[in-house]
Amino acid sequence: MRILIANEARQGAGGVETYLSSLVSHLEARGHAVALLYANAPHESGPTRIVTNESWSAAGAGVDGALAGAAAWHPDVCFSHNMRRLDIDERLVASWPTFKMMHGYFGACVSGQKAFALPSLQPCTRVCGVGCLAYYLPRKCGQLRPGLMLEQFSWARRQQRLFAGYAGIIVASDHMRREYLRYGLPADGVHTVPLFAVPAAAPDPRNGSAADVLDVIDVLFLGRMTPLKGAETLVHALARAARTIGRPLHAVLAGEGPERERLRHLAHERGTGVALTIDFPGWVNEAARARLLARTSLVAVPSIWPEPFGLVGLEAAQFGVPAVAFDVGGIREWLSHDVNGRLVNVGGGAAALGDAIAGVLASPGLRDRFSAGARAAAARFSADAHVSRLEHILRIRREEPSTAA
């Protein structure tokens, strides 16, 4: 096949760019020709670059110029990803069979957060519609800006109008499939294709310190320091776990975000009187992530918003690191309770999360069993399995090019 990939960015630090960079190489290895049409400027920077033989920038050449270049390449199918510029998706849908991968709640939530912040942070289960406007400001679904709310609502409705025009919608979890089926799409129009973790290189001990080799990390968090990701809940949970297991507990919360400094102070307060040490190294690159995971006993995924998938758990599983996570969104796609970790009811909050962490850390035998389960999960959610399923779906044809709804 000749597959035209569409995405906002060609280069960046996001998970979508990392996924597409790896996907392109796997598709090409199977004999497919792959090209890229992207919205942003060609001079953008970032640690991950999507490399294809042919590419066109809508910001650089204009939408008409980029689409003309793509048309001259004669794609069989388009595979679209994150795209804030819906005029581009609309043109793609009108030109080629276009499959859309929903990496987030695009068109299924006004703000995209799929969670209420007031009176407490909790997942939202509403179908996105006009009624959401009555909740947006009182429940703090996003920023407290009415103008932005209306702008986001208009965008979501425009995205919804495209749903029926796509040759198919692809999601990473059955949770997300159920979400999009609520918008009247046929059962065979929404496809679950679980993600895969890009194989991590074994950490080079020469790039770390002697302390890195000796110092075991009991619990590791990798993610943005935001309320939705649950880092604050994790800090409270770690303090509870440290008291329960009755020995020194070492945790690392790696990542940047608006909550980082406040969380550092909170960690110091909660660690007072208990043998708890929490390090905040900030954002870490791929090599540093590998070194951290190689020393880790347990990864925590305390997200309170319904994660579409939660790829960090599979990244850890490659190192045999089991997970403890709140049972929200698509987490249970890869995390099986008491097989490769433990799922925790989000309603139990920090107490339930802390008890689950303590239960795994206090039992070396249990942790070893979960570690074996984690490696098995990493093997099951492989790149080959993902690409094989994706190939099958992208071969779906319509007799005539689809048109925008």
Cα-based distances in Å from 195 to 250, 310, 336: 30, 9, 16
Tell me, what DSSP letter sits at residue 6?
E
Looking at the predicted structure, is the pLDDT value of residue 259 above 60? yes
Q: What is the mean pLDDT of the chain?
A: 93
Please give the CATH topology (third level) of the domain spanning 2-109+148-198+384-394: Rossmann fold (3.40.50)
Lowest mean pLDDT among 41-50, 127-136, 368-377: 41-50
Looking at the predicted structure, is the pLDDT value of residue 200 above 80? no
Instruction: Give the pLDDT of residue 214.
Output: 55
Across the range 214-231, mean pLDDT stands at 92
How far is it, in rounded angstroms, from Cα 113 to Cα 181?
19
pTM, to two decimals: 0.91
How far is it, in rounded angstroms, from Cα 354 to Cα 344?
10
Lowest mean pLDDT among 73-77, 119-123, 214-218, 348-352: 214-218
Across the range 15-34, mean pLDDT stands at 95
Contact predicate 301/332, CB 8 Å: no
Q: Quick: pLDDT tens for 363-386.
A: 999 999 999 999 999 999 999 999
Residue % of the chain over a pLDDT of 70: 94
Domains of the chain by residue range? 2-109+148-198+384-394, 205-381
pLDDT band for 114, please (50, 70, 90 cuts). very high
pLDDT band for 201, please (50, 70, 90 cuts). low
Q: Which residues of 367-393 are buried (b: 16+ CB within 10 A; e: fewer)?
A: bebbbebbbebbeebebeebbeebeeb
Alpha-carbon torsion, ordered 142, 146, 148, 153, to 10 deg: 80
Looking at the predicted structure, is the pLDDT value of residue 256 above 60? yes
Cα-based distances in Å from 359 to 92, 100, 279: 51, 41, 22
Q: Quick: pLDDT tens for 47-100.
A: 889 999 999 999 999 999 999 999 999 999 999 999 999 999 999 999 999 999
Lowest mean pLDDT among 103-117, 207-221, 377-391: 207-221
Instruction: Give the pLDDT of residue 203.
Output: 62
User: What region does 114 belong to: left with phi over 0, alpha with psi -120 to 50, or beta?
Assistant: left
Q: Quick: pLDDT tens for 307-366.
A: 999 999 999 999 999 999 999 999 999 999 999 999 999 999 999 999 999 999 999 999
Whether 2-109+148-198+384-394 and 205-381 share one fold: the answer is yes
In the chain, count H helices and then E strands. Answer: 14, 17
Q: Pull the structure tokens for residue 256.
A: 């940047």
Across the range 163-169, mean pLDDT stands at 97
Instruction: Give the pLDDT of residue 215.
Output: 85
Please give the CATH topology (third level) of the domain spanning 205-381: Rossmann fold (3.40.50)
Tell me, what DSSP letter sits at residue 9?
-
SS3 content of the chain, % helix, strand, coil (to 5): 45, 15, 40
